[in-house]
Structure formats: C-alpha cells, structure tokens
Amino acid sequence: MYLLYGGPGNANLAPHAALQEAGLAEGTDYRFVKLDLKAGDNRKPDYLKLNPHGVVPALVIEQPGSSRVICESAAILMHIADLFPQAGLAPAPGSAERAAYYQWITYLTNTVQARFMNFYHADYFIDGEAGQAAVKAKADTALKEHFAYIDGKLSAAGPYLLGEAFSAADLYLFMLTRWGRNLSRPARDFPQVGKHFERVLARAAVRRTLAIEGIS
Ligand SMILES: N[C@@H](CCC(=O)N[C@@H](CS)C(=O)NCC(=O)O)C(=O)O
C-alpha cells in the first residue's frame, strides 16, 4: 500500500498523476491523504515524522514488516516511474532520452519550482510588504523567462518535453504550468506550454487525479 500525503494541487500533483498513470486505484492500491496546509496539518508532529521539513508531498511505501518514506516531489515521481515501468513514464536507463529526462525534471524542480517558492512565499525570504512585493515581482519575471524557454523547446521538438514520447517530466511541467496561472502572464498563455497543458489535461489518469484531489 502507498500513502501519498499532499494538498489539492500542491507538489504532490505530479507524483499522484504518476500513480494513476501506472494504473493504481485510490482506496485500493494507494491512499491520497489530504492535508489542510492552511490549517497547519503539515506542521503537526505526526507529519513532521514523515517529512521533517513540514512540506508536502511525502510518500509512504508500506510493505509487510517494513515501511519507508520518500520525500521531494521529483524523487517520488521518478521512483514511481521506476517501480511501474509498464506505464512507460521514463526512458531506458543509460539512454540519451533518459539523460534528457533527468535534465528536465531536475531543472523543473530545482530551478522553476524554486522560483515559485519565491513567488508564492516571498514572506519566507524577506520581512515587510515592500520587500515581499519586490521578491514576488522578480520571481514573476524569472518565471516568465523560464516558461518562454520551455515554450521554445516545445516548439522546436514537441509535443512533449522529450519530443514524441510522453514521460513523467510532462506531469511535472503540467503541475508547474497550473501553478503559473497567477503570473502576470499566465504560463498557459505561452502557446506551446498551453498546448502541452491541454494535452496532458486530456489524459484520463490526469483527470482522475484532479478529481481525487478535488480540483475542478
Ligand atoms: N522541493 C519540495 C517542495 C515542497 C513544498 O514546498 N511544498 C509546498 C506545497 S506546494 C508546501 O508543503 N508548503 C507548505 C509550507 O511551506 O508550509 C518538493 O518538491 O517536494
């Protein structure tokens, strides 16, 4: 049994969609444990035992006699892709495509996602309204540059990040594009990023994921 802890649309969304892509059923094969971040569920002692940073997601893998926890959305996503190779979410290890897959997911998590933290949580980085507005404005500019870059890459060799082949990296981009709806130029306004979002949104597994998380 897998327990995925998260909140609606939070960094759990991409790993959650990967569980669905792998054909796992919520309630039977895994449980989505919904936390209320506004109420501080992620800072409660029981959750901190799973993810000491107090952020979502965390994936608990329960096996007879043992259980283990994995944190970090990108790590969870890639692990799910590896656990269920039949889902075709990751290229073969050692291939050029696998290298591109690592590159995309690493870039998306440690560069683009990090800028979203500045955008949505400027208060973590600086005190005072003026400073926070400045941090948010810088993050907005940086994120638009990143989506422009991604748009160019999808335009040159789409429709997915790896070209013709859909992969877990696309689930991660889908999640970040959704987060980008509040940018001064919403991420979906970048033409290829918008098309990519629609294409991934059309997947039955992704629609099921959104429904389970309670996102319209
Ligand atoms: N790098 C981490 C970031 C996780 C993260 O910051 N999650 C946010 C939600 S998207 C969170 O839990 N925030 C709660 C808080 O900051 O209190 C990951 O990708 O797993």
Closest Cα to atom 11, ligand 1: which residue?
A: 55
Tens digit of each residue's pLDDT (9 = 90 or more) over 43-93:
999 999 999 999 999 999 998 888 999 999 999 999 999 999 999 999 999
CB of residue 105 inside a 6 A radius of ligand 1: no
Tens digit of each residue's pLDDT (9 = 90 or more) over 90-108:
999 999 999 999 999 999 9
Residue 199 pLDDT level (bands cut at 50, 70, 90): very high
5 backbone dihedrals φ, ψ, rounded to 5°: -95, 130
| Residue 129 pLDDT > 90 | yes
CATH number, residue 157: 1.20.1050.10
CB of residue 118 inside a 6 A radius of ligand 1: no
The range of the structural domain enclosing residue 192 comes to 96-204
Q: Looking at the structure, do residues 111 and 135 belong to the same domain, yes or no?
A: yes
Tens digit of each residue's pLDDT (9 = 90 or more) over 131-158:
999 999 999 999 999 999 999 999 999 9
- Number of domains observed in the structure of the chain: 2
Closest Cα to atom 12, ligand 1: which residue?
A: 55
| Residue 10 pLDDT > 90 | yes
CA distance 213 to 93: 31
| Residue 216 pLDDT > 90 | no
Q: Looking at the structure, do residues 66 and 156 belong to the same domain, yes or no?
A: no
